Amino acid sequence: MRVLIAPDCYGDSLTAVEAAQSIAAGWRAARPSDELVLAPQSDGGPGFVGVLAGRLGEVRHTRVSGPLDDHVDADWVDDRAASAAYIECAQACGLTLLPGPPTPASALAAHSRGVGELIDAALQAGAETIIVGLGGSCCTDGGRGMIEALGGPEQAKAKLAHVDLIAATDVEHPLLGPMGAARVFGPQKGADAATVEILEERMTAWAATLDALAGTTISPLPGAGAAGGLGAALLALGARRESGAAVIAEHTGLADDVAAAEVIVTGEGRFDDQSLHGKVVSALAGGARARGVPVIVLAGQVTLPPADLAAAGITAAHAIADYAGSVQVAIDDAAAQLTGLARQTAAGLVG
């Protein structure tokens, strides 16, 4: 049987590449005769560059400002043949770059300056197309740090005037309001209630600058709230928004892999309602449903009821936390627990 293994990352526990390898190890242990095709995916968040590395151009390493001013080494992909650069914002301002768990103080201080420095490096390398993967950030600065690193609003826009700029994200949230970057994602980045209000006030003021730069109102646009408002800043600089999952799918030949698969195994850290709206899992399920290919989800946690799974074209969903006996074990021993769950799942298949 031909099995396509195409997971996203599992939060901070496993990259998509590591997850695919763990699933494959468990699957082989139970069904050694199956043909496994590993195609790790990303929706633009952490792992975006890692998934593309080795498939497109050359991986470059650039030292940039981290989210709290310490410098970090960030990877990006320089596709000279296509004059394109692929950047992952989490490489410069990701949650994993904080020295410890996120706090209200880090939520207020974190910035996106390093993303602007990565864009500048891509420009200096001659990139005519720049794709910025958005997700997994620890900052909520509306992309202000990124724009300042590029010389300020007007200079940043001038630098990028002749560049095909793409914001790769599957997050549809606006910049401001109850569904905006601060109120929805701020608590995940350490912000308490008071801090969320401060961040919202900051970005409301900054939004006026972005609107003036773009000549239109940016904050309500889908994706403006992605990566702490980096989406809004990119849109103000002339970017167009594309699905991060679709960008990866195109460059990994996912459609051909899905067409040839007899079973698809995917997964992510938390399989919930958001997973069914533009995320990697939903994209795979949509492509598989038309061909009648079963889709199995192995996730850190599963919160969706069976009826929703069936409606989305998901054959089955299993949680690492259930297999491991606790969420903490699932996080602390993610690779081994995912391997064990994959082995158990494969052993239960008939055919």
Domains along the chain with CATH numbers: 2-41+253-347 (3.40.50.10350), 48-244 (3.90.1510.10)
Q: How far is CA 131 from CA 62, 123, 229, 241, 263, in A?
A: 16, 12, 16, 10, 31
pLDDT of res. 351: 64
What stretches in the chain show pLDDT beneath 70? 277-278, 351
pLDDT of res. 252: 82
Residues 40-98: tens digit of each pLDDT: 998 888 889 989 987 888 999 999 999 998 999 999 999 999 999 999 999 999 999 99
Task: Name all contacts of 291-295 with Cβ < 8 Å and 24+ positions apart.
Answer: 291/258, 291/259, 293/258, 293/261, 293/262, 293/263, 293/264, 294/263, 294/264, 295/264, 295/265, 295/266
State pTM to two decimals: 0.88
Task: Extract the tokens encoding 260.
Answer: 């040839």
Residues 10-30: tens digit of each pLDDT: 988 899 999 999 999 999 999
pLDDT of res. 98: 96
pLDDT of res. 277: 67
List phi, psi (to 5°) of 141.
Answer: -110, 10
Angle at 292 between CA 288 and CA 293, to 5 degrees: 55
Task: Name all contacts of 200-205 with Cβ < 8 Å and 24+ positions apart.
Answer: 200/176, 202/141, 202/142, 203/140, 203/141, 203/142, 203/175, 203/176, 203/229, 204/176
Q: Which residues pair with 36 in a beta bridge?
A: 3
* Alpha-carbon gap, residue 314 to 283, rounded angstroms: 11
Return the axis-axis angle of helices 193-214 and 226-236, rounded to nearest 10°: 10
Burial of 172 (C-beta count, 10 Å sphere; 0-12/13-18/19+):
middle
